[in-house]
Amino acid sequence: MSIQLKCDAVNCVYNRSRLCSADEIEVQGGETTGGDATFCGTFSSKSLGNFISSLGNMNYSETLKQTVSGEPVMDPKVHCNAVNCTYNTDQYCHADHVEIRNEVSQAAEETECETFYPKMG
């Protein structure tokens, strides 16, 4: 399954034109019942040191394809520990689209998974 991920956390080392160049991300949230308590645990602010440490999780093939084609193709795997989200199945996100918010984020906890939707019942 392919998830389209839009990311507004432009200060993240993985952000490329509002798409995520990470191979895998982790949405944190635990037992929360509201999206404002979720965040992208993979967020890492832009710096040379963080860029170097991010290289092991970079999705090189899709980043290169997007650079050459100009089409949005980056599509990280989205692991999720927000157990009360309706899209969480076995700690993996099954939403068709995921949006990470907060353009001014300087830390992971300042981001938010806008796609979070609480389980009913």
- pLDDT at residue 27, as a whole number: 97
pTM score of the predicted model? 0.86
The string of pLDDT tens digits covering residues 41-57 is: 999 999 999 999 999 99
Give pLDDT tens digits for 70-108.
776 667 899 999 999 999 999 999 999 999 999 999 999
Q: Which helix (H) or strand (E) holds 113?
A: strand 112-113
Burial zone of 117 (CB within 10 Å; 0-12 exposed, 13-18 middle, 19+ buried): middle
